[in-house]
């Protein structure tokens, strides 16, 4: 089965590369081992933090993030020093790339919003830096409280749909904030995480526009998207920062992304 998947993933990547080339969407990811922790589940979560092309399964090198933590009961806990570097790649990538992982023990009921602010990533193909402020929410022990609170990042998506316990086909609605204010008509890119645990077969997009879905927010920065498959879905609202960073002595623009991940499950 592994081999079939590997072959498939090479096919996916080749097909996508042939069809696409320049506009591959980058996504910061945080994937927890569980998104709803019940009494009988293990209380220790494993979290993986990556910078990837979710549909094409391609990894990019990720240096240690600038911030990583969790908000529970409106209190922030810094978890940056718990991160361990590890390496991974898709079946068709030759070399392995760094990503980050940690274990976190759930001790109390309630919602846990994990957030990461990566170190700016230089993307020569786009002549800019990329910073994806990424979040994911894990619910614990039946207390559904906290998921709709902003973390207070430079830019972020605040869910308006409770971000766990979602069925395949559900609509996910969120609001895009930049410095705490809604972003009218923000553009939101959406991708399926092809390496989602339990994904029965790799998705092979028939043409480039299928890889990244695009929706625009309304005047209040509110967007919606219905998720057609079980697994992890990433939402990335992209804006240009009003600050610059230097690359080889020259000032370059910075793309700041507000990214949110949710998990869906088939009804059966």
Binding interface with other proteins (CB under 8 A)? 38-39, 107-110, 141-145, 165
Residue 145 CB, nearest distance to other proteins (Å)? 4
Minimum distance between the CB of residue 77 and other proteins, rounded to whole angstroms? 18
- Euclidean distance between CA atoms 86 and 89, whole angstroms: 11
Instruction: Specify whether the CB–CB gap between 224 and 32 falls below 8 A.
Output: no
Taking the complex as a whole, how short is the minimal distance between the CB of residue 69 and other proteins, in angstroms?
22
Cβ atoms within 10 Å, residue 49? 22
> CA-CA distances (angstroms) from residue 193 to 134, 143, 233?
14, 27, 6
What token pair was written down for 103? 């274990």
**Cβ-based nearer residue to other proteins, 107 or 250:** 107
Virtual torsion, Cα 50, 53, 56, 59, nearest 10 deg: -40
134 or 170, CB closer to other proteins?
170
Q: Which is nearer to other proteins, 110 or 221 (CB)?
A: 110
User: CA 94 to CA 58: how far, in whole Å?
Assistant: 11
Cα–Cα distance measured from residue 176 to residue 174, given in angstroms and rounded to the nearest whole number: 7
Token couple for 22: 């320049």
Closest approach of Cβ 11 to other proteins, in Å?
Answer: 39
Q: Which secondary structure element, helix H or strand E, spans residue 36, and what is its range?
A: strand 36-37
Using the minimum distance from each CB to other proteins, give the nearer residue, 162 or 252.
162
- Locate 18 and state its tokens: 């042939």
The answer to whether 204 touches 47, Cβ cutoff 8 Å, is no
Q: Which is nearer to other proteins, 41 or 123 (CB)?
A: 41
Minimum CB separation from other proteins for residue 73, in Å? 10
Measured from the CB atom, the residue of 69 and 109 that comes closer to other proteins is 109
**CB of 148 vs other proteins, minimal distance in Å:** 11
């Amino acid at each position: 089965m592994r081999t079939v998947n590997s072959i498939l993933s090479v096919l996916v990547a080749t097909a996508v590369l042939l069809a696409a080339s320049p506009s591959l969407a980058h996504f910061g990811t945080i994937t927890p081992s569980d998104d709803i922790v019940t009494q009988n589940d293990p209380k220790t979560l494993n979290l993986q933090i990556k910078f990837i092309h979710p549909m094409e399964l391609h990894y990019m090198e990720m240096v240690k993030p600038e911030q990583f933590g969790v908000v529970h009961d409106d209190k922030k806990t810094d978890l940056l020093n718990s991160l361990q570097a590890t390496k991974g790649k898709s079946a068709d990538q030759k070399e392995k790339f760094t990503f980050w992982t940690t274990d976190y023990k759930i001790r109390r009921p309630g919602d846990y919003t994990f957030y990461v602010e990566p170190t700016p990533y230089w993307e020569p193909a786009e002549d800019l830096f990329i910073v994806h402020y990424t979040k994911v929410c894990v619910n614990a022990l039946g207390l559904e409280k906290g998921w709709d609170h902003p973390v207070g990042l430079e830019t972020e998506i605040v869910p308006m749909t409770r971000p766990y316990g979602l069925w395949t086909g559900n609509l996910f609605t969120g609001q895009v904030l930049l410095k705490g204010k809604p972003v009218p008509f923000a553009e939101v890119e959406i991708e399926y995480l092809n390496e989602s645990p339990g994904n029965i077969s790799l998705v092979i997009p028939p043409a480039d526009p299928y890889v990244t879905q695009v929706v625009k927010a309304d005047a209040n920065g509110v967007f919606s998207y219905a998720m057609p498959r079980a697994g992890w879905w990433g939402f990335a609202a992209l804006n240009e920062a009003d600050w610059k960073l230097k690359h080889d002595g020259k000032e370059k623009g910075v793309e700041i992304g507000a990214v949110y991940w949710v998990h869906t499950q088939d009804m059966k």
